[in-house]
Structure 1
Amino acid sequence: MTAARPASAPSNPSAPEAPDTASTADVSVGPGKLDRDKLFAARLFAARARPYLATALFALHPVESPRVPTMAVDRYWRCYVSPAFVDRTPLAELAAVWVHEVSHLLRDHHGRGDRVLRERQLSGPGARLRINIAADMEINDDAYDDEAKDLVLPADAVTPQSLGLRSGELMEDYLRQFGLGPRTQGLVWLDCGSGADGLERPWELGPNGAHGLSAQERDAVRFRVAQGISARPGTAPAGWRRWAEEAFHPPQPWRELLGAALRSATYGSGSGGDYTYGRPSRRSAGLPGVVLPSIRRTPPRVCVVIDTSGSVSDAELGSALLEVAAISRAVGGRRDLVSVLSCDAAADVVRRLCHAAEIPLTGGGGTDLRAGFAKALRTRPRPDVVVALTDGQTPWPRTQPSCRTVVGLFSRIGARRRWSEDHDYVPDAPPAWARVVHIGAPTSN
C-alpha cells in the first residue's frame, strides 16, 4: 500500500491547489461514514495530474469497508476504502493513493504474483507480503518522479532506495533481492488487497459480487490506457511507457510455443532440478524420523541468437528485442538465465541480459547462423534452450544441437522484403529438428 500510517503528511508547496472539501465533509458526513465528496474529489485530482490514467481511475468502483487499513483493490477492479483513512488523509496524498492502487491492476501484479509463486514453489502470507512490497516498489519508483510534483508520496511509502535496492527494476527483479527481516519489519501493515498479490481477503466481494469488471472489460481498460500513453509518450514516466509498449504489442502465438519448450526443458530428465531440504519431500511422512529432500525445479537457461544480417530490417530487430523481453518473463523474470548474441556471418560476444533495450545489436553483413549456434553451445553454463530469431535467409547446422531449439521467423506478410540482389533466391527451410514459429503471424507452424 502506498498510503502512510501517520495521520497526515507534509504538504507539498509545489503542488497545484487542490479543491477544498472540508466544508462539505463537515456538513454531509457523520462519524464513521465515508466522505465520498472528498474521495471523489481526490480521484478527479488524480485524473487531472495523470490524464493518461483517467480511464482506469474512473473504471474503479469504490466500496466502503472499515476493515481495510487504508485503500485496497481486488482483481475485479473494486476499490475498498477505509472511512477513517479518507478523513485523516490530505487530498493530494489521497489522490496519490488512487494512482497507486489502480497501478496494481493495470500492471497485473496479481497475475504476475501468482505466476511467480507457482514457478518458484512459494506459498503463504509471507510470500504474498513480499509480492506486495515488490509491487509497491515497482510503482513508487516511477509513479512519482520529478515531473510528478503534484502528487504527494506518503512518508512511509516503500521505494527501492528505502531498502537499498537499485531503481528501475520490475516486481520480479525486486523479489529476488530482498527477504523478510529487520529492514521490512515496519512494512507488515501493507495490504493492497488481492489486486496486488492475488490472495483474496475476507472483506472482498469475490468474483460474484456486485460492480466487478469482466475479463473483457478489464482488458479494454488496459488497452485504452496503453493507447493513450503510446499516443503521447512524452507525458508519462519511463516505466509507464515500457508498460504501454508491451501492453500495446499484440500477443504472439509463438510465445505459447516457446513457453512450452521452456517448460519441457525445465522438467526434462536431468535438467532444471536440484534437491532441497527447504521443502521436505511428501514421502517423509512414510518414514518417521527421516527428512527426505524434495526436487526443486528451476527455469532453464536460454541463449537467444539474433540475426543481424543486412537482410533483417530495423523493425524486425526491434521486434526481436520485444521477444527477448518476453523470453525473460517466460523464465520467471530471471534475467540472469537469459543470454543474447547477435550474429550475421560471424557471432558477436555473448551478453547476459540486463535490459532488452540496452542490448547492442551489431552486424549488417551476410548471414550464417551456424556460427551463432556454435558459439551459443560453447557458452558456460551451457544453455538448456537455444532460440534463433531470424528472417530464415541463412544456412543451418547439419546436425541437431545438443539442446532444445526454437526458431522464430520474422513474418514478412505485407512488409517490404530485403532479400539479396538475386530475386530468385529462396532460403532453405529450417531443419526438421527445430520447432518453427512465425513472429507476428496469426498462426504458427
Structure 2
Amino acid sequence: MTAAQALDPDKIYAARLHAARARPYLATALYALHIVASPRVPTMGVDRHWRCYASPVFVAQRPAEELASHLVHGVSHLLRDHHGRSDRYARAHDLTGRAERLRMNLAADAEINDDAFGDGLLVPDDAVLPSTLDLPGGQLMEDYLRQFRLGPRTDGLTWLDCGSGADGLCREWELGPDGANGLSDQQRDAVRFRVAHSIVGRPGNAPRGWQRWAEEALHPTQPWRALLGAAIRTATSSSGTGENYTYRRPARRSAAVPGAVLPSLRRTPPRVSVIVDTSGSVSDADLGSALLEVAAITRAVGGRRDLVTVLSCDAAARVVHPLCRAEDIPLFGGGGTDLRAGFTRALRSRPRPDVVVVLTDGQTPWPSSRPGCRTVVGLFPPVGPRGRPVLDSVPDRPPGWAQVVEIGTPRV
C-alpha cells in the first residue's frame, strides 16, 4: 500500500480517543472497531463484522474531531443492528435492489443522527438528519421507512454509503465473513451487552434514544410474554376450571327426570395463585419482571384483582397478598429454594385456586404428586455473579404436569 493509500495512524488514534471521551458509554464499541484503509470507500463505512473502512483521502482532509463523529456514527449502526433490521424489513416487505437499501441507509442515519452530535461531537456537514427528509425526530428506522420514498429531496444523497453495517447489503470492498479482524457473533453480542450496561449504569449521561436501546438490549421484547399470557389464559378458561354445580338454577335435564331436581353447572371466574421464587438464585431483574407478569395475569382473568393472590417463597412460604397493585407487593426471601412450601400454602388457601402460576429459575424441588389444579411455570434464566446470565447452566426442568414457558432468553 502506497503512502497515498495509507491512513494516518496518529489521526485515527486521536479521533478514537476524542470519540471515547465525548461518548464514554460507547468506548467498548469504539475500541472493538477495526479500521481498514480502503480507497474505494466514499468516506467511511462499516460492515456487519465490525470493520470500519476509511478512505485515506477522506481521513487526510478531515480534522480528527470530525472523524470522531464518523466513528460514533459507524458504531451506532452496528450496535443498533441496522444490518439485521434492514434484512428483516426487506424480507417482510419484499424489497430488493440497491435503491431500497439506500433508503434503509437514509432511514438508519436519521435514527442515529437525531441525537448523536453535540456535547463534544461535531455535526458533519453532510449528516442526514430527520429534518433532511422533512420528518420528525425521535423515531426508529422502521418508522422513517414508512414515511418517505426516494425522490427530489433525496437526489443529492445518492453518494451515501455507510456500508453493509447500515443496510445489510454487502459491498465489493468489504472483506466478508472470512476476512481478517472481524468479530464473531459472540464477540459482537458481548460488545452490545457491555455498552448497554454502561448506559444503564450512568443514567442521564446518554440521550433518550440510547437509553431506550440499552433497556431493549438488556430486556429484549420476546415471544415469551405472549406465550406466558396464552398459557395462563388457556389454563383459566379450560374445561373444569372455575366450574361447580349449583341448585340455584335447576338443570335443563330436570324435565326428563320427574320428581328429581338436578343441579346445573355454573362457571365462576377462576382464582389464580401466583408463587414468586424469591430465593438467592433469582436476580433482582427477574423479581422486577415477576411483578410485571403478576400485573399481566390480572388482565388474563378479566382485571379481577380480587381473584389473584401472590405469595413469595424461598425455603418457606411468606404471607399471601391479595393483588392491589403490582408495585405494592413486598417480596421477601433471599435464602434457599423449596417451592413445595409455596404449593402447600397456595393449595390450602380458601377458596382454593383454580390455577397456580409459578415464577422461578427452576432450582427447586417440586411436589411429588400433581396438584389438584392446573399449573403454569414461568422459568427465569439462571444468573451468576453480579447478575450476569449463566449461558451453560441448565435449570431443573419442572414436572411434566406443569405447562412451562421460558422467560427471557439470556443474552450477552
When the two structures are superposed, what TM-score results if normalisation uses the length of structure 2?
0.61
Aligned residue for 1:129, secondary structure, equals: helix
Aligned residue for 2:31, secondary structure, equals: helix
Structure 1 residues 216 and 87 mapped into 2: Cα distance closer, same or farther (>3 Å)?
same
1:42 is aligned to 2:34? no
Aligned to 1:218: 188
1:195 to 159, 165, 171: 165
Which consecutive aligned stretches of 4+ in structure 1 deviate over 4 angstroms post-superposition?
Answer: 250-253, 255-258, 310-314, 316-321, 342-347, 410-418, 439-443
1:76 is aligned to 2:49? yes
Measured in 2, the distance between the counterparts of 1:318 and 1:192 equals 42
In the alignment, residue 129 of structure 1 is paired with which amino acid? L
Gaps of 5+ in 1: 1-28, 262-309, 325-341, 348-362, 368-392, 395-409, 431-435
2:355 to 429, 433, 437: 429
Measured in 1, the distance between the counterparts of 2:57 and 2:312 equals 58
1:162 to 108, 112, 132: 132
Aligned residue for 2:110, secondary structure, equals: helix
- Residue-by-residue CA offset, 1:240-274 (whole Å, 9 max, x unaligned): 1111111112675626969x99xxxxxxxxxxxxx
In the alignment, residue 183 of structure 1 is paired with which amino acid? R
Cα distance, 1:221 vs structure 2: 0.8
Measured in 2, the distance between the counterparts of 1:167 and 1:439 equals 39
Aligned residue for 2:4, secondary structure, equals: coil
Whether contact under 8 Å (1:136, 1:158) holds in the other structure is yes
Cα distance, 1:441 vs structure 2: 5.8
Identity among equivalent pairs (%): 58
Whether contact under 8 Å (2:311, 2:318) holds in the other structure is no
Gaps of 5+ in 2: 232-273, 277-285, 324-344, 357-375, 383-396, 398-403, 406-412
Structure 1 residues 345 and 202 mapped into 2: Cα distance closer, same or farther (>3 Å)?
closer
Structure 1 residues 217 and 164 mapped into 2: Cα distance closer, same or farther (>3 Å)?
same
Aligned residue for 1:233, secondary structure, equals: coil
Structure 1 residues 62 and 438 mapped into 2: Cα distance closer, same or farther (>3 Å)?
same
Cα distance, 1:419 vs structure 2: 3.9
Whether contact under 8 Å (2:37, 2:54) holds in the other structure is yes
In the alignment, residue 306 of structure 2 is paired with which amino acid? G
Whether contact under 8 Å (1:411, 1:441) holds in the other structure is no
Number of aligned residues: 291
Whether contact under 8 Å (1:411, 1:440) holds in the other structure is no
In the alignment, residue 71 of structure 2 is paired with which amino acid? W
Aligned to 1:143: 116
Measured in 2, the distance between the counterparts of 1:175 and 1:412 equals 46
1:175 is aligned to 2:148? no
Measured in 2, the distance between the counterparts of 1:416 and 1:120 equals 52
In the alignment, residue 204 of structure 2 is paired with which amino acid? G
Measured in 1, the distance between the counterparts of 2:322 and 2:222 equals 28
Whether contact under 8 Å (1:104, 1:195) holds in the other structure is yes
1:93 is aligned to 2:66? yes
In the alignment, residue 420 of structure 1 is paired with which amino acid? P
In the alignment, residue 322 of structure 2 is paired with which amino acid? S
1:420 is aligned to 2:393? no
In the alignment, residue 84 of structure 1 is paired with which amino acid? V
Question: Which structure 2 residues correspond to residues 188-337 of structure 1 after superposition, within 5 A?
Answer: 188-249=158-219, 254=224, 315-316=288-289, 319=292
Cα distance, 1:149 vs structure 2: 2.8
Measured in 2, the distance between the counterparts of 1:186 and 1:103 equals 23
Cα distance, 1:438 vs structure 2: 3.1
Cα distance, 1:45 vs structure 2: 0.6
Whether contact under 8 Å (2:275, 2:311) holds in the other structure is no
Whether contact under 8 Å (1:411, 1:439) holds in the other structure is no
Structure 1 residues 126 and 110 mapped into 2: Cα distance closer, same or farther (>3 Å)?
same
Aligned to 1:127: 100
Measured in 1, the distance between the counterparts of 2:313 and 2:94 equals 41
Cα distance, 1:30 vs structure 2: 4.1
Aligned residue for 1:438, secondary structure, equals: strand
- Residue-by-residue CA offset, 1:122-172 (whole Å, 9 max, x unaligned): 11111111111111011001212xxx3311111221111222212111111
Aligned to 2:410: none
1:110 is aligned to 2:83? yes
Measured in 1, the distance between the counterparts of 2:58 and 2:313 equals 55
Structure 1 residues 121 and 39 mapped into 2: Cα distance closer, same or farther (>3 Å)?
same
Structure 1 residues 417 and 319 mapped into 2: Cα distance closer, same or farther (>3 Å)?
farther
Measured in 2, the distance between the counterparts of 1:139 and 1:226 equals 16
Whether contact under 8 Å (2:69, 2:123) holds in the other structure is yes
Cα distance, 1:62 vs structure 2: 0.6
Whether contact under 8 Å (2:199, 2:211) holds in the other structure is yes
Aligned to 2:39: 66
Aligned residue for 1:207, secondary structure, equals: coil
- Residue-by-residue CA offset, 1:404-423 (whole Å, 9 max, x unaligned): xxxxxx99886988643995
Measured in 2, the distance between the counterparts of 1:416 and 1:175 equals 51
- Residue-by-residue CA offset, 1:375-407 (whole Å, 9 max, x unaligned): xxxxxxxxxxxxxxxxxx39xxxxxxxxxxxxx
In the alignment, residue 224 of structure 2 is paired with which amino acid? W
In the alignment, residue 72 of structure 2 is paired with which amino acid? V
In the alignment, residue 438 of structure 1 is paired with which amino acid? G
Aligned to 1:438: 378
- Residue-by-residue CA offset, 1:19-77 (whole Å, 9 max, x unaligned): xxxxxxxxxx9434321211221011101111111111010111100000000111111
Whether contact under 8 Å (2:275, 2:313) holds in the other structure is no
Question: Which structure 2 residues correspond to residues 365-444 of structure 1 after superposition, within 5 A?
Answer: 365-366=305-306, 393=308, 419-420=321-322, 424-425=348-349, 427-429=353-355, 438=378, 440=380, 444=404
